[in-house]
Amino acid sequence: MQRRVPLPRQLDHLDGPVFEPLKDPSYFRRFAVNSDIDTIAWPNGSDFSPDFLYEIGKPLGESTHPSGAVSSARHPPA
């Protein structure tokens, strides 16, 4: 199942020096997929656990409103 992960919303809640550079949008975009650990990582060694990403992700087809409410996107039948 594919999921959309709202990472920018999570950055304010991350503590510690390893996560501080991720708050800079230009540094944040430097992520890469690390297939050795099956997640995304940054040049400074910070990464997110796959379980964390799955937990905060929303199935594609759902959108998250600023209020935090989740709604299903409606698509016409094919």
| pLDDT tens per residue, range 4-20 | 888 777 777 788 899 99
| pLDDT tens per residue, range 16-65 | 899 999 989 899 999 999 999 999 999 999 999 999 899 989 998 766 55
Residue from 67, 21, 14 nearest 44 by CA? 21
Q: Is residue 27 part of a domain?
A: yes
Work out how many domains the chain is built from and give that number: 1
Q: Is residue 21 part of a domain?
A: yes
> Which 3 state secondary structure label does DSSP give 45?
coil
Check: pTM over 0.85? Answer yes or no. no
Residue 43 is part of which domain span?
Answer: 3-57
DSSP 5-32: --HHHHGGG--STTTGGGGSHHHHTT-E
Beta pairing class for 62-64 and 32-34:
unpaired
